[in-house]
Amino acid sequence: MPEPAPEPEPDELALAQQTLAAARSNGDRKGARAANERVVELLRERARGDLAAYGPVLQTALEELSSARLRGGDLFGSRAAAKEAKALAKTPGR
């Protein structure tokens, strides 16, 4: 009798996005910011390989991260994320 196929590994990006959504729905600002940081990290990696598919999503995540950092009092971190999002918006091929 053949063995059943193993369960596919859960997608790390999907899990991070679920964690972000859960933190937002619970009103957990710190948790949402941490989850958004992770989503941005994962999207950066994927955008390097496929900018057309992941660039717009990364831009949105960076804009949200900029707002979260600003609300948390991290002015320079907010500016860095906003600057990266703006540069990404100007990148051809996304």
SS3 35: helix
Q: Tell me how far apart the 2 most distant CA atoms of the chain are, in Å.
A: 61
Give the pLDDT of residue 94.
59
Per-residue CA distances from 77 to 53, 62, 70 (Å): 25, 11, 8
3-state helix, strand, coil in the chain (%, to 5): 75, 0, 25
Q: What is the pLDDT along the chain (94 residues), one digit of tens a residue?
A: 566 666 667 799 999 999 999 999 999 999 999 999 999 999 999 999 999 999 999 999 999 999 999 999 999 999 999 999 999 999 886 5
pTM of the model: 0.85
